Amino acid sequence: MKIPDLHTSAISAPGELDCPDEAVADPCSPCFGKAAGRPRAADKEARHRALLHTAKNLFLEKGYSKVSLEMIAREAHVAVRTIYVKFGGKAGLLSAIISEGRAHFFADMASMETDPRPLEEILGDFSLRFLELVSLPSFISLHRMVVAEALSTPELADTFYQAGPRQSREQLKRLFVRPEIRARLRPELGLEMVAVHLTNCLLGDHMTRLLYPSHSSPTTDELRQRATDGLDLFLRSVLR
């Protein structure tokens, strides 16, 4: 599994991406070959992904604070107003990039609230998906960017947390709060602590090592072993 490449004029309708005549005729534009005017649903989805792809590449290449909405709009062949209407600004655009990339990994996983599989199997599935997600080169680059700019650009750190780590914790808490699952956990442990403990057991020093450019990407077998070991450590420490 991998994250897909997340890809002042008036707009024809709120939230729609623009395809001006010059963009339609530009072979390098995501609008190339599209008809001008109101786009079809498939075209809108393609342009949405193209905008996210363009913004993601600019953020990772130049840094979040050095990229303006005007720069993104120019590269993606959309109006600045379109970005404001659809995402609310630069932070909203970054949030969409992270959220859609994360959703790709968990889209075909059963809801934590209703998944009938045994706890160990549900968490085994989650653990491998989680490790594959955070081990992607694009995620590592994003993580480096957040660490480098968090102090000077607080909205970047907050956006990353809300769209990434917090969503993982909330996803796990929906599992741990289930009565039959809660009954298996040590009663003195809070659900927030349990969720954080799982991700910590899975990561260990994994992320720290990946942040160094010289460290090679782990293989699928290595990730499976890390998921197995981390989950075993977690279960031994939280089950009654």
pLDDT over 50 (residue 238): yes
**pLDDT, position 210:** 82
Give the residue numbers spanning the domain of 79.
21-93
How do residues 40-86 score in pLDDT, each as one tens digit? 788 888 999 999 999 999 999 999 999 999 999 999 999 999 999 99
**pLDDT, position 39:** 60
Same domain (yes/no): 182, 119: yes
3-class SS shares of the chain: helix, strand, coil, % to 5: 65, 0, 35
**pLDDT, position 13:** 33
Q: Which structure tokens are listed for 171?
A: 């996803």
- Quote the number of domains for the chain: 2
How do residues 152-198 score in pLDDT, each as one tens digit? 999 999 999 999 999 999 999 999 999 999 999 999 999 999 999 99
Same domain (yes/no): 37, 114: no
H or E segment at 92? helix 90-106
* Any domain includes 193: yes
Same domain (yes/no): 123, 83: no
